[in-house]
């Protein structure tokens, strides 16, 4: 084992080593994925971020010192191997390395709490307990390569469309929607909360004259859920835009979802393969289902839903059976939407709010917002909330707030859709749920 890297540097990632490089000498670095000792020949699979490369060591062809080093290797130790490339139709990528130098950079303790080769399948809790090992699995780390593309693609989409990226506070004095779903914290001598949504701040940015803003950041929800689609800490992709209404921002949402899907399909082919997920690019103009029709559709599936109710889990599932892919729900009753949602001019009992769904999963909620101070105060009171706790937010509406609209997309839920995984915990490095606060 060595103390420091000195002049050892990787020359190639495993996937860059192709049969065309036959005969060349390269240095690879990574983890000992698998060791097969057949006596006269030892095979070591070295795994790096991008894949596997086989190191083949026939005792007759290599120095005995190297042979003995390989024989002593432990699973998941970190190694550096310098070797000569040989074509081989039996090895991954059609190449293997004949080792000329091996350096153990760090030895792994045995036994392993989790097997990254996935020969032994582990339960999600065991996997999350040893997440750093779990993330070494190609299929698992593929999810995060895809998530990285999703977040980058969203950011590029907004920049291309002339949005300004903002960062709003996550330490807040009061609730967004006045609910009880907040994590209280001690803020010096006062109580404060972790932000459940950038909603109020992004709206204030409309009054600040920014016109089009977006934020990609954490949201915190103290809901006692124990489902496959809720976490207590999630990532929200939020936007808000002035001089536009719900229909304009739905168009932005649809375009962003399509662009992200195209980018993931284009850049993450091998990751999608590893996940065995056949990602279909959604076509333009997602269907729009009016809430009143949705109630009938849900009932037609034998699930009881009355007009005026939010979608129960059973109702979502019924819709999931009827709808294939993305669709909007529009025309929600005003009563079940938050106070900042603008009602229809002619039918104030109907809101200008929408949800974006993927089958049975809610991906986004959005709306045209109330921009009139008096109406906003009234709607806050109608929800049984005290306008005084919204004083600084309300002030932004008294001095020239433009009409505006916006939405928030759950980035983790979108990652579920684009990777095909069923449990939201799979899409978060270190998920936070009702029972889990570590690692």
Binding mask 157-186 for Mg ion (x = CB under 5 A): ------------------------------
**Which one of Mg ion, ligand ATP, none interacts with residue 54, CB within 5 to 8 A by kind?**
none
Helix (H) or strand (E) holding 101: strand 95-106
- DSSP E strands, 297-410: 326-330, 353-358, 361-368, 404-410
Burial of 326 (0-12, 13-18, 19+ CB in 10 A): buried
Q: Give bridge partners of residue 242 from the DSSP assignment.
A: 404
Q: Please count the residues of the chain.
A: 439
For 93, the 3-state DSSP assignment is helix
For the CB of residue 431, give the shortest distance to ligand ATP in the complex, in Å.
10
For the CB of residue 164, give the shortest distance to ligand ATP in the complex, in Å.
21
The residue of the chain with the least Cβ separation from ligand ATP equals: 410
Q: What is the dihedral of CA 266, 271, 274, 280, to 10 degrees?
A: -40
**Which one of ligand ATP, Mg ion, none interacts with residue 427, CB within 5 to 8 A by kind?**
none
**Which one of Mg ion, ligand ATP, none interacts with residue 234, CB within 5 to 8 A by kind?**
ligand ATP
- DSSP E strands, 201-302: 212-220, 233-242, 288-290
Q: How many residues bind Mg ion (CB under 5 A)?
A: 1
- Please give the residue ranges that form the binding site for ligand ATP (CB under 6 A): 221, 223, 230-231, 234, 236, 362-365, 408, 410, 412-413, 424
Which residues ranging from 360 to 389 are in contact with Mg ion (CB under 5 A)? 365
For the CB of residue 433, give the shortest distance to ligand ATP in the complex, in Å.
9
Residue indicated by tokens 């903002």: 166
What is the DSSP secondary-structure string of 353-383? EEEEEETTEEEEEEEEBP--HHHHHHHHHHT
- In the bound state with ligand ATP, the residue whose beta carbon lies nearer, of 211 and 223, is 223
CA angle, 233 then 146 then 196, to 5°: 20
For the CB of residue 226, give the shortest distance to ligand ATP in the complex, in Å.
11
Binding mask 315-354 for Mg ion (x = CB under 5 A): ----------------------------------------
For the CB of residue 322, give the shortest distance to ligand ATP in the complex, in Å.
18
For the CB of residue 122, give the shortest distance to ligand ATP in the complex, in Å.
24
Q: Which two tokens stand for residue 403?
A: 């009409």
Which chain residues interact with Mg ion by CB under 5 A? 365
């Amino acid at each position: 084992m060595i103390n420091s890297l000195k002049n050892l540097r990787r020359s190639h990632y495993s996937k860059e080593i192709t049969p065309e490089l036959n005969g060349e000498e390269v240095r690879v670095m990574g983890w000992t994925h698998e060791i097969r000792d057949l006596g006269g020949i030892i095979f070591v699979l070295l795994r790096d971020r991008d894949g596997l490369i086989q190191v083949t060591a026939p005792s007759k062809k290599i120095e005995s010192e190297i042979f003995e080093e390989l024989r002593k290797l432990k699973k998941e130790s970190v190694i550096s191997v310098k070797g000569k490339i040989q074509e081989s139709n039996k090895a991954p990528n059609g190449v293997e390395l004949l080792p000329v130098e091996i350096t153990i950079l760090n030895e792994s303790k045995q036994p392993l709490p989790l097997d990254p080769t996935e020969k032994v399948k582990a339960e999600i809790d065991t996997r999350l307990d040893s997440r750093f090992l779990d993330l070494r699995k190609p299929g698992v780390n593929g999810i995060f390569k895809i998530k990285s593309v999703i977040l980058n693609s969203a950011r590029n989409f907004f920049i291309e469309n002339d949005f300004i990226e903002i960062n709003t506070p996550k330490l807040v004095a009061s609730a967004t929607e006045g609910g009880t779903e907040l994590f209280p914290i001690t803020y010096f001598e006062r109580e404060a909360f972790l932000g459940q949504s950038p909603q109020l701040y992004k709206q204030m940015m409309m009054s600040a004259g920014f016109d089009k803003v977006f934020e990609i950041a954490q949201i915190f929800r103290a809901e006692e859920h124990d489902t496959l689609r809720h976490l207590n800490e999630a990532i929200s992709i939020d936007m808000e835009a002035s001089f536009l209404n719900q229909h304009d921002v739905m168009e932005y949402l649809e375009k962003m979802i399509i662009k992200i899907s195209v980018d993931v399909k284009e850049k993450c082919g091998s990751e999608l393969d590893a996940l065995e997920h056949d990602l279909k690019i959604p076509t333009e103009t997602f269907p729009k289902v009016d809430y009143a029709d949705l109630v009938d559709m849900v009932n037609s599936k034998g699930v009881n839903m009355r007009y005026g109710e939010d979608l129960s889990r059973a109702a979502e599932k019924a819709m999931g059976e009827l709808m294939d892919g993305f669709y909007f729900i529009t025309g929600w009753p005003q009563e079940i939407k938050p106070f900042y949602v603008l009602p229809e001019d002619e039918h104030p009992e109907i809101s200008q709010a929408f949800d974006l769904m993927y089958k049975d999963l809610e991906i986004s909620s959005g709306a045209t917002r109330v921009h009139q101070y008096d109406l906003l105060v009234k709607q806050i009171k109608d929800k049984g909330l005290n306008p005084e706790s919204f004083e600084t937010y309300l002030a932004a509406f008294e001095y020239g707030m433009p009409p505006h609209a916006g939405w928030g997309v759950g980035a983790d839920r979108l990652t579920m859709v684009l990777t095909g995984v069923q449990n939201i915990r799979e899409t978060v490095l270190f998920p936070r749920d009702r029972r889990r606060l570590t690692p």
